[in-house]
Amino acid sequence: MQRRFGFAIILLILMSCDSKETRLHKFLLKGNIALREQNWNQATYYYGEAIRLEPCYADAWNNLGTVYFQMDNYEKALQQYEKALECSPKFSDALLNRANTCYALKEYFRTIADLEKVIELKPDTSVVYYTLGLTYSKLREFDKALASFEKATQRAPEGDRKQRTELAINHAIVQYYLKNYSVAQSELENLIKQNKTEPSIYNTLALIETELGEYAKAMTMVNEAIRLDPKQSYYVNNRGYIFLMQDALASAKADIDASISKDPDNAWAYRNKGIYYLKKNEYEPAERLLKQSLNMDPFVDKVYFYLGLAYQKNGKKDLACDSFKKSKERNDQLVTNELLATCK
């Protein structure tokens, strides 16, 4: 009798273990289905049930982080990914997800640190190098960005046309930032031959034509980008910038305001609105908006030059000179010798 009783207890324990694993799997599966259907409340519930059953269930923590990421609640997402990594420090998916979250939070050095850990674990993953390229672009480390996009391209599946197109566009954008305009144009024109319906190609060509002073061509290109994707606020903002460069201020303001209404987190739009007020000779709102742009994203192109002008007009010579110095260090090619002479 004692042997049978002991055997029954062991069997019951084994059945309980199997039952727990089964329940964990079911909660995770149901959560994943809810996540795909964008039913955030249900997904949160099912992942939460899995975590209550197993507090160190890294998959559930990771997927719960993705729920919050999809809801644009990046701080909350970050907490969940960190929980996943506490449970499983070499969980590459959680590392990559945390890197993407840090990128969204503009914590670029943390992004790079996590991506480098993923590369150690999975050195042939193209998406890691793609994200690394985006991050280096934000930090204005353009040579490293180019190298990262090239490594990503080498690892991207031949049949994944979308990924390879995105990589090629971002490679051309970095050439644009480096002011290698002819190289960037050539890369983008080759892309158009393969994909005539990708709006970001036309948007980037518009930026290049703007820098070259070819505003009519730039307007044609940006309008094509907007036609292909009318919901993209970045394209509308860029058209506003083209209007600014032509002193069509009413049209510029309409586009910039529309862009901010669609996406209030776009630092470039606040820079452009600051330029608008500079051109209107309204220097206090210009200074405020340009500082806001800089606080939102310190790597916005040309922001130091225009902020320097605003400081200068507001009688803040030291701040103006400091901004002009930073603009020159960034090779914006806008600071003149006359402006620098005022700082002596």
**Do residues 151 and 129 touch, judged by C-beta distance below 8 A?**
yes
**Residue 83, amino acid:** K
- pLDDT tens per residue across span 16-29: 555 788 999 999 99
Task: Name residue, tokens 């391209």.
Answer: 153
The predicted model scores a pTM of: 0.85
- pLDDT tens per residue across span 53-76: 999 999 999 999 999 999 999 999
* DSSP H helices in the chain: 2-36, 40-53, 58-70, 74-87, 92-104, 108-121, 126-138, 142-155, 161-177, 181-194, 199-211, 215-228, 233-245, 249-262, 267-279, 283-296, 303-313, 317-329, 337-341
Q: How confident is the model at residue 344, as a pLDDT?
A: 79
- pLDDT tens per residue across span 74-101: 999 999 999 999 999 999 999 999 999 9
d(CA 313, CA 169): 38
- pLDDT above 70 covers a percentage of the chain that reads 95
- pLDDT tens per residue across span 271-298: 999 999 999 999 999 999 999 999 999 8
Helix axes 126-138, 108-121, angle to 10 degrees: 160
Is 3.40.50.1110 the CATH number for 20-123? no
Of the candidates 162, 161, 155, the one whose C-alpha atom is nearest the C-alpha of residue 133 is 155
**Do residues 305 and 323 touch, judged by C-beta distance below 8 A?**
yes
**CATH of region 265-344, choose from 1.25.40.10, 3.40.50.720, 3.40.640.10, 3.30.750.24:** 1.25.40.10
Q: How confident is the model at residue 341, as a pLDDT?
A: 85
Of the candidates 297, 250, 249, the one whose C-alpha atom is nearest the C-alpha of residue 271 is 297
Q: What pLDDT band is residue 300 in, cutting at 50, 70 and 90?
A: very high
Q: How confident is the model at residue 6, as a pLDDT?
A: 52
When mean pLDDT is compared across 203-207, 276-280, 330-334, the lowest value belongs to 330-334
Residue 111 C-beta-side C-alpha neighbours within 13 Å: 21
Residue 93 C-beta-side C-alpha neighbours within 13 Å: 11
Residues of the chain with CATH 1.25.40.10: 20-123, 265-344
- pLDDT tens per residue across span 232-269: 999 999 999 999 999 999 999 999 999 999 999 999 99
**Do residues 293 and 310 touch, judged by C-beta distance below 8 A?**
no
Residue 229 C-beta-side C-alpha neighbours within 13 Å: 16
